[in-house]
Structure 1
Amino acid sequence: PYVPVVQRALSVAAARIGLTCNKNCGLFAFPAVSDFIGGDIIADILACGMGEKEEISLLVDIGTNFEVVLGNKEWMFSCAGAAGPALEGGEVLFGMRANPGAIEKITIDPVTLTPTFSTINGTKPRGITGSGLIDILAELLVAGVIDRTGRINMEIKNPRIRAGAHFPEYVIAWSRETDVAKDIVITENDIKNLIMSKASIHAACVTLMKEAGVTRLDIATIYFAGAFGNYINKKNATIAGLIPEIDLERIKNIGNGAVAGANLALINRRKRKLLDGIAGQIAYIELNAEPSFMDEYTSSAFLPHTDLSLFPRVQALLESIREKKEVT
């Protein structure tokens, strides 16, 4: 929300700005691009190396907000938006941050609809974190529990699918299995909020791709950064339509890219000298002012997208599942 006064990298004695450490300690501040693309994203770019490659890469950093950068060593486009609330625990009944007891991975048996999940620290479940929520979206879609709009199929006769107090819901863990003394569920309203969040991220990716005149086939690598990206299931992220579809082996998790980039700048003088150049070549796209963004957002508000031709592998998977059900 604040326009940066200085956008280049800065070096200063730490004591001059009130940091209580060794009086000879130096402080290096990364450059910023705009009010929403700051030094952390420049550090992500340094960490994954996309600013030094000929090939086109897509970087997605998901936290409370999301940032997307598309480009290579010659050019880069960037944008930012709000998507984190649902993916960080807000707007989801049992959503929570990545703390002990959060369900981080989940699979659902397509026949019995029984879930198998793992939690952070292996403790009893207390809620669901972002990576687990993306798993749930994809797994419920593949199992046929929800349709591509996120609506739960109430015609399925299974104790895990029920009306709920306010919305139809799917039971992930029974109260006896949890650490909160109640059933942990995902509701139809939760699912719609998740779809809205993932739609804004995918729409941002497509908006940058159109701005640059490239398609998903031109993207060599997609990098996930941030705590969310470190644990996300790449296949499920594609099935849900969070990111454009490319080969799974070309989707990389770089973890906390801001810390990794800071480490690189700390120990490698050559890398540190690249930072101003990286920041200087990034063009910031204001999504609110981009007429096509809302159209892309609306098209992305399905699982995985209104246009299945953009997700040929997911389309083939869903068709094969439908054919199997018709046979049985």
Structure 2
Amino acid sequence: MTAKRIGILTSGGDCAGLNAVIRAVVLAASGRGWTVVGIREGTRGLMARPPMAEMLGVEATDSAMLRMGGTILGTTNQGDPFDYPMPDGSKRDRSEEVIEGFRMLELDALIGVGGDGSMAILRRLAQQGGIPLIGVPKTIDNDIGLTETAIGYQTAVAVATEALDRLQPTAASHNRVMILEVMGRDAGHIALATGIAGGADVILIPEIAYDFAAIAAHLGRVHSVGRNFALVVVAEAVLDDDGRPVRQGRGSYGGIGHYVAERLSRDTGAETRVTVLGHVQRGGAPTAGDRLLASALGVYAVQLIAEGRFDRMVAWLNRQVGDVPIQHAIEHYQAVDPDGALVATARGLGICLGDVPGLGDLPGLAE
């Protein structure tokens, strides 16, 4: 087989597991005698002249990479190359510069590691410039379609669950309702999984409308069985009473935890405290699950290049690694299914999802 020169970039928000997938691509490609070029700062690196890139050899991919958070290549979640913000405030289409950067590096294929937004941009660039593209799904939000999980999600859930574990003793010691606000963009996957794994009493996600009266009634039931505390997990995209998202700073989500705390304090008289995890969920060493997933997807991405199968996204399906058309994955946005298994699990555990007081048996007192 002819030796190939392939590029890899990470795009969008960072998450745990990115370095593990870079390592997997380098090792799998090197085993075939191929060369891997790491492109720095996503598509912005391809706009630079000369392009910001570096050779990635096996000597730089020891096992320490598996444990590293973030991405050694850097990334960006700003600056759509089709509508790129210029210093004078104008917008310009710089897509041809990105395509030219790919050609300047003399690459035979490109592996793009990103979420649905990054995938859409990279595919558009690939279609325009004839770039052989393979996508690798990563996002803590776990909202990319046609894959059961994406790189970074498992670590984000583990971090949030640990936070809930640490909040519980303080809640019990001080007779408080502890509210944990977690990330997830427009989907409630992190909140739902964290709430179940961490024994939350209430979980609020954007896919299920909530009513403060139902929440207050549930907290009353919790109190009536002798429990002196409660744990509430809130996804950042949950709307306020007027149906509006709560935002802060440059328009990003943030603040719904404090909004819920104020209402619950007023409605129930409970003493509430709020913890907003924010970007803590993105950083740190990836869990074993994310390391395994990243390794499997990275190796398979190289396999797809070897087979000449492009415009595909590697995916985890039915306990196996596989691939789907990138366009189909983008089109099938994966929010939480209100009728899905985890929602049913939460209800079966007696967790209140905000629409009705929790059904089933209430959890017993914490040990």
| Normalised TM-score (structure 1) | 0.31
| Normalised TM-score (structure 2) | 0.29
* Structure whose alpha-carbon radius of gyration is higher: 2
